[in-house]
Structure 1
Amino acid sequence: MGAGVGLSALGSMLSFLGVMLLMVVGFVWFPLKRAIRKFTGKNEDAPAVEADRRDDDTQT
C-alpha cells in the first residue's frame, strides 16, 4: 500500500468525524436556540403577523 491509500483513509476518517461533530452541534444548537427564543419572548418569525395585526387594529 502506498501513501495514496493512507491519505485517502485519513481524509475519509477526518470527514466522518467532522460530519459527526456538525451533526451533534446541529442536534443541540437548534432546539437550544428555539428554547432561548421561547424564554426571552423574542420571535423572529412573526414580523408579518404583527403587521397583519396592526392593519386589523387600524380598520376597526
Structure 2
Amino acid sequence: MARAATGLGVRDLARLASVSPDTIARLERGEELRAATVEAIQAALEAAGVDFIPENGGGVGVRLKR
C-alpha cells in the first residue's frame, strides 16, 4: 500500500532502498526478510513521503505526509 501511494514502481523502490526488485516482491508477498532489509525499505518509503502509523486501536497503517 505504501509503495502504491507514492506511485513508486517495484524497481524504483528497490533502487531507493538499495535492494533487488525481487526483495520488494518478496516483501509484498508477505515473506520474511532480514530486519535490516525491512528497515532500509521503510527508510526509503519514509523519504518518499510515507508516514508509518503504529497500532492505535484500528491496526497499523500508512499515510502520506503532508
Q: Which has the higher helix share?
A: 1
TM-score, normalised to structure 2, is 0.26
TM-score, normalised to structure 1, is 0.28
Q: Which has the higher strand share?
A: 2
* Structure ID, larger Rg: 1
